[in-house]
């Protein structure tokens, strides 16, 4: 039951990140030269790929004991890359727009980074539970 709850929490965090990224970085933008048509923006699409991989691939990898280690590894890599990218772009924007340092906390990507790390720690708890089940299962075998 706990394993299922952690898996659901992992999916909810990844789904929230996916929706948040799409809202902040829509990759289909209106074409100013052709009203009613859209233009594909590949740069913004890349920021959509990370949470999509998290939602689909990491979840699938956590479904089986044999692939859970790869889900844990991929989840950790995505969080590290996401933290670096979000912090970098946040700091770069602050300097480009001359936002005063006292406003950085509220206007930063810190909440988004916190969501990514919450996703990581849920994945870690899920992985630890899977490993504990495996150890118990191995101990029962003669």
- Report pLDDT digits (tens) over 77-128: 999 999 999 999 888 887 777 777 777 777 788 889 999 999 999 999 999 9
Cβ(23)–Cβ(51) below 8 Å? no
Percent of the chain topping pLDDT 90: 54
- Entry field: residues in the chain: 142
25-39, 55-69, 98-112, 113-127: least confident range:
98-112
Q: Is 138 exposed, middle or buried (0-12, 13-18, 19+ CB in 10 A)?
A: exposed
> How sure is the predictor about 141, in pLDDT bands with cuts at 50, 70 and 90?
low
pLDDT of 134 above 90: no
> What letter would DSSP give residue 99?
-
- What is the distance between the alpha carbons of residues 68 and 66, in angstroms, rounded to a whole number? 6
pTM of the model: 0.86
C-alpha distance from residue 56 to each of 12, 15, 52, 60 (Å): 12, 9, 6, 6
pLDDT of 55 above 90: yes
Q: Which residues pair with 30 in a beta bridge?
A: 38
Q: Which residues pair with 19 in a beta bridge?
A: none
Q: What's the domain range around 8?
A: 2-140
Mean pLDDT (the chain, rounded): 89
Whole-number pLDDT of residue 142: 63
Residue with tokens 């899920």: 126
9-23, 53-67, 97-111: least confident range:
97-111
16 or 106: whose pLDDT is higher?
A: 16
Domain count within the chain: 1
Q: Is 113 helix (H, G, I), strand (E, B) or coil?
A: helix
Which residues, including other chains, have CB under 8 Å from residue 68's CB and lie 6 or more apart? 61, 62, 126, 127, 130, 131
142 or 66: whose pLDDT is higher?
A: 66
């Amino acid at each position: 039951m706990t394993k299922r709850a952690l898996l659901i929490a992992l999916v909810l965090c990844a789904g929230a990140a996916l929706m948040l990224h799409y809202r902040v970085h829509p990759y289909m933008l209106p074409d100013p030269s052709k009203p009613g048509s859209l233009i594909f923006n590949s740069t913004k699409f890349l920021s959509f790929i990370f949470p999509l991989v998290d939602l689909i691939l990491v979840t699938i990898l956590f479904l089986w004991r044999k692939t859970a280690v790869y889900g844990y590894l991929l989840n950790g890599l995505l969080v590290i890359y996401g933290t670096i990218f979000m912090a970098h772009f946040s700091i770069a924007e602050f300097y480009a727009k001359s936002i005063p340092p006292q406003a950085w906390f509220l206007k930063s990507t810190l909440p988004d980074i916190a969501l990514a790390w919450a996703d990581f720690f849920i994945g870690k708890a899920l992985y630890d539970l899977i490993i504990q089940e495996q150890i118990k299962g191995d101990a029962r075998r003669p």
